[in-house]
Structures are given as C-alpha cells and as structure tokens.
Chains A and B, each alone.
Chain A
Amino acid sequence: DAMVIQNPRYQVTQFGKPVTLSCSQTLNHNVMYWYQQKSSQAPKLLFHYYDKDFNNEADTPDNFQSRRPNTSFCFLDIRSPGLGDAAMYLCATSRGGQGNHEQYFGPGTRLTVT
C-alpha cells in the first residue's frame, strides 16, 4: 500500500542535543510537509517542500531545519532541542499542481526532551 512512513515513532533526546526525524513516502507526491502538534492543539505547519523548493513558515524557529534529498525522503533537524520542542511531529504529503489536494499524514514521531 502507498503510504507515508515516519521513523522513529518515539524519540527521546537530551536538552540541546541535535536530533533528526525522518519521513519517507511511496505516494510519489510532489509536496512534503512537516507539522508540529502539541497535546490537544491543532497541527502547526513548520515548512514544506514543493519538489525541491523549500517554503518556511514565518514563525518557524531557526532551530528547525529540513532537508529533502529526493522525492521520497524528507528530514526534520532540530539543532538544539528545548523542553518546549517536545511534541508530536507529523509528516504529510500531497499531490501538488493545479487544484486543491488533500494531505496524507504519517503516523507521527513523538519527541521527548529530557
């Protein structure tokens, strides 16, 4: 089945220790997104890639970076995690192009910062 895969599902890191979360997709979608979701809150868009074009949200902290080495993979790097960065991180994909396309989400990575 075509899908969005996130690894790891659970990640524990120490305060200030860099961490990388990964996302892969078999849908061959043009657009990949990273969201942060804290408990009982709406998902918050951090940034997205349309093919190789990177689009950063204005309020995304510089501490968050992303890489998309190819169509299938996208990475979220948190350079110096703080306690406030503990959250669920969701990767999503959509077809892109003309029209309005639904986004398909992965299962998420739960990040804990100690």
Chain B
Amino acid sequence: EDQVTQSPEALRLQEGESSSLNCSYTVSGLRGLFWYRQDPGKGPEFLFTLYSAGEEKEKERLKATLTKKESFLHITAPKPEDSATYLCAVDGNKLVFGAGTILRVKS
C-alpha cells in the first residue's frame, strides 16, 4: 500500500529563517510527486510536480527536490505570508496525500 509521511507535523520559523520540510514515501511505481499549499478553510493550491530522482523545481522562496525515497521542500528566507499547511502527495495507482506540515512564520 502506498504511504506518505510528512515531517515535522508543525514548524515555527522566524521571518528569514530558512528550513526544510520532509516527505517520505513508499509507492509501487512512482508516477509523480506533488507539493501543495493549503491555507485554512481553503482547497489545496498546486505548487510543484516532480517525476524522477534528482529533479528540482523552484518558485520564489520555495525549492522542491526528489530522491528515490523522499522529497524536500526547502524554504529560503520565509515571510509571514508563507504560513500555511504544505501537503505532499504521491501518484502511484492514485494520489495519496500526507497529513501535511503546518508552517508558521513569525515576523
């Protein structure tokens, strides 16, 4: 059974304090790994798709990387508006989501 584990469950950062979120996965035949951002009371917003180990994608202060067992979402010099829940999902036979990491960035 495909599984996705995200860590940490919650992360508090000071504005400008860079860090990384982790997504570990087991899947029989990875067809894609997706990162989403979810604000409270809203639907997930698509950020990145990664297809193969070694691939990297960047968008503003966010950078996603992929290995054969895990993905990292690196946040460089975060701002308060980066506060959200970040969800990772893997596409094997179907999309399986992790429970997310709640990120809080304080000014």
- A residues whose Cβ falls under 8 Å from a Cβ of B: 4, 6, 40-45, 57, 88, 90-92, 100, 102-108, 110
Contact = CB atoms under 8 A, between A and B. Distances in A.
A43 B97 contact: yes
21 contacts: A4-B43, A6-B43, A40-B100, A41-B99, A42-B4, A42-B87, A42-B96, A42-B99, A88-B41, A90-B44, A100-B32, A100-B49, A102-B46, A103-B46, A103-B95, A105-B43, A105-B45, A105-B46, A107-B43, A108-B43, A110-B41
A43 B44 contact: yes
A88 B41 CA distance: 8
Contacts of B51: 100
Contacts of B100: 40, 42
Interface in B32-85: 32, 34, 36, 41-46, 49, 51
Contacts, number: 49
A40 B85 CA distance: 9
Contacts of A105: 36, 43-46
Chain B interface, DSSP helix/strand/loop, else mixed: strand
Given A42-B98, A45-B95, A108 B42 contact: yes
Contacts of B96: 42
B34 A102 contact: yes
A110 B32 CA distance: 29
B20 to A, nearest CB: 20
A45 B94 contact: yes
A18 B14 CA distance: 46
B94 A100 contact: no
Given A42-B97, A42-B98, A42-B99, A100 B44 contact: no
Contact of B42 (A44, A57, A92, A107): A107
